[in-house]
Structure 1
C-alpha cells in the first residue's frame, strides 16, 4: 500500500470525517427539537399543517404555484416525468450524465412507459442547444415516440457539481416552449447553485414547469424532496404519489426538519463551498493527485490519482479510512469528496495531513486513463 510512517495509523483514532456525500448529514439540534414538538395530522386523510407549510414555502421560494412533499428525489423526478408525459408513447430528453438517466433505474421506462432520449452533457453540465433541438421528435410519425419533456439537473453532479446558469436554463425553456414541450429541473442541489452563482433559486428555475427540491443533502434534513409546479400539475402529482406508495401519514415530523433547513441552512452553504475549495487546492498540491480547479464550483471535488502516485485510488481511500477520513472511490483512478455542514476547515486540514505521512511519490507502472472528463469515468450516485 505504499509507505506509511510509524504511528500514522494513530492520527485519526476516534475521529471520523465523512466526505462521502452531503447525504450523510444528520439533523441539527434545532431540527430535532422541531420534530419532537411539531403538531401533526394524517396527511393522506386530510392535511398535515407542517407538510402544508413546507409545500407552500418551497413553492414560493421557487416561484411556483404549489408543492408536494415526497419521500425522495427519485420519486419526485419520476412523478414529474409521468405527469408531463401522461400520454403513452411519450419521450423525455435528458443528459447522458443526469441523475435521472444514470441512477434512477430507468424508472420512467420501467414504470411509466416513457422513452428516455439522451443528449451528451458538456463538461460544464450543459447540453448543446443545437443537439437538444435535433433530438426533439414532434412529427406524428408512426415509427417515433413524441417528445413532451426536457430535463435539466442543477447542480450537475456527475460533471463535478457544476452550476447551470439562469440564462442557459432560459434558453432551454424557450426552446421547449417553441415546440410545445415542458421543462423539468432536478434541483437536488439547487440551493448550492443559487449560493454559488449569487442568484435566487426562483430566478434559476423561472423557465421550468416543475422542479424537484431536495431537503436531505446540503441543508441537512433527514428525508424528503418537495416537487413544485402549477396547481394543476401538483393535483396530478399527488395522485401519482399515492400510487407509488409515497403518501405518508404524520409526515409533519419530517416536514418540520425541512422547514428548519430552509430557514437555517441555505445561507451557510457558502461555507461548504469555501471548504471544498481549500480541500481541492490542498489535494492539487500533492504530487500524484490532480484536481481540475475549474470544476470546483460548489461542494463536490474529484481528485485524479495520476501515474506519479505509488498508491491507487482504492489504496488511498483504504488508508485514509484508517485515519477516520471517509471518501468515495470513483472509476479507475478518481476519488470523490463532498463537503457539508459537518465538515469544518479543521476537518479539511486533518484530512490533508494524511499526505504528510504517506508517500504517493513513487511512480507506478500501471497505466491510467489520463485527465478525461469526470463524467466519462465516474460510476457512483448521489
Structure 2
C-alpha cells in the first residue's frame, strides 16, 4: 500500500533550508566569533539591529536562549516579572526563568482580545510594597502571541503598555519570536513594534526557513553583557557565519510571510465550513477547539495531516514549505472524518 504523503502543520519550525539558503551557508565568509567576531555574523547582527530599531543585536542559537539571556540580565534573584497568560516565557521554556534567571513569574490575564494585555491589568499587577514583599521589575510582552493563536499587538497598544510599564517602574522585554509576522500583518516596519522596549528577541527559524538561530537586541551596553551571558550558557560559536548566512537569507523573506497568512485564512475558512470551531487567524496560526485533542490528532495523523496540541486545542501552522494546494489537500483529507 502506498504511504500517504504527510503534510506537516505542527509548526513553522519544520521548514527545510532551500537550495539558495544552503548555497549561501556553504559560501559564507567565516571567522572565530568568540575570538575575533565572525564577519558574516557581524553583518547579520548589524542588519537585524537596523530592522529592529535598536543599537545592537547578538545572534543566539535559539529564541529561548535569547529570552533567557535577557531575563538573566534584567532580573535579580527573587524579582517578579509579568507576562501575558500563556506566554512562551511562562509555559514553554521549561522553567528557565526561575531556575537560571532567578525570577518569579506572574501571568497577567488577557483582556477582551486573546493575547493582548490591557494596561489596567499591568498597572494592577505591578504592585509594590515594603522591602519584605516581592518586587516587580520587568514586563515581558509577546508579539505575536503564540498560544493565543498568533494574535498581534499593534503599535498604539504596544506604546501604551510600554508607557504604563515605565510609569510603574518596570523595564520591558519583548519576546518577538514571530515579530516578523506582526510586522507584515500590520504593514509596519519591525522597528515600529519595538519602540520603547529595553530588549527584544526575534527568531529566524519560525517561518523564515533558517535551520537555527535568533537574535536578542537592545543597547550597546546590553549586548556587550549579553555576549558574556551567552558564552556562560554555552552559546558562544566559532565559525558562526555558516548559520548567520542562513539568517541573512531569511531576513530577505519577511514579505513572503503574507503567503502563510493567506494560507492560514484559507485553512480556517475551510475548517469552519466543515463544522470546526476555529479562530480567525491574524497571522499564520489556526487554533481549533475539539472535544478530545488526542483523538483529533490521531485521526488527523491517520489521513497524513500533522498538527500539534496547545492549550487544549489543536494548532495548525501553514509555512513556507506548503502551498495553497497543500491547504486544499488538507481540507480534502479532513473532510473524510469527524475529529
TM-score range, shorter chain: over 0.9
Structure 1: gaps spanning 5 or more residues: 1-8, 307-311, 362-382
Helix, strand or coil at the partner of 1:24: coil
**Partner residue in 1 for 2:286:** 301
Pair 1:30-2:20 in alignment: yes
Pair 1:266-2:251 in alignment: no
User: Residue 78 of structure 1 is aligned with which of 68, 71, 74?
Assistant: 68
Measured against aligned partners, the alpha-carbon deviations of 1:93-118 in whole angstroms (never above 9, x if no partner) come to: 11221000111122122112222222
CA contact (8 A) 1:169 1:207 kept: no
User: Residue 306 of structure 2 is aligned with which of 326, 338, 341?
Assistant: 326
Deviation for aligned residue 1:355: 3.5
**Partner residue in 1 for 2:32:** 42
Q: Report the RMSD for the aligned CA atoms in angstroms.
A: 1.7
Query: How far apart, CA to CA, are the structure 2 residues paired with 1:328 and 1:179?
Result: 38
**What is the 5 A alignment of 1:79-94?**
79-85=69-75, 87-94=76-83
Aligned residues: 338
Deviation for aligned residue 1:190: 0.3
Deviation for aligned residue 1:92: 1.2
Query: How far apart, CA to CA, are the structure 2 residues paired with 1:131 and 1:278?
Result: 34
**What is the 5 A alignment of 1:1-382?**
13-85=3-75, 87-122=76-111, 123-139=113-129, 141-263=130-252, 265-287=253-275, 289-293=276-280, 296-305=281-290, 312-330=292-310, 334-358=313-337, 360=338
Deviation for aligned residue 1:187: 0.3
CA contact (8 A) 1:137 1:145 kept: no
Deviation for aligned residue 1:175: 1.3
- In structure 2, do the counterparts of structure 1 residues 318 and 151 end up closer, same or farther at CA, with 3 Å as the change threshold? same
Query: How far apart, CA to CA, are the structure 1 residues paired with 2:87 and 2:334?
Result: 33
- In structure 2, do the counterparts of structure 1 residues 29 and 173 end up closer, same or farther at CA, with 3 Å as the change threshold? same
TM-score with structure 2 setting the length: 0.95
TM-score with structure 1 setting the length: 0.84
Structure 2: gaps spanning 5 or more residues: none
* Deviation >6 Å, runs of 4+: none
- In structure 2, do the counterparts of structure 1 residues 133 and 357 end up closer, same or farther at CA, with 3 Å as the change threshold? closer
Deviation for aligned residue 1:15: 2.0
Deviation for aligned residue 1:330: 4.1
- In structure 2, do the counterparts of structure 1 residues 118 and 317 end up closer, same or farther at CA, with 3 Å as the change threshold? closer
Measured against aligned partners, the alpha-carbon deviations of 1:212-246 in whole angstroms (never above 9, x if no partner) come to: 01000111100011001000111111111111111
Higher gyration radius (CA): 1
CA contact (8 A) 1:97 1:121 kept: no
Helix, strand or coil at the partner of 1:42: coil
Deviation for aligned residue 1:52: 0.6
CA contact (8 A) 1:90 1:147 kept: yes
CA contact (8 A) 2:303 2:334 kept: no
Measured against aligned partners, the alpha-carbon deviations of 1:180-202 in whole angstroms (never above 9, x if no partner) come to: 32111000100101111111110
Query: How far apart, CA to CA, are the structure 2 residues paired with 1:331 and 1:233?
Result: 34
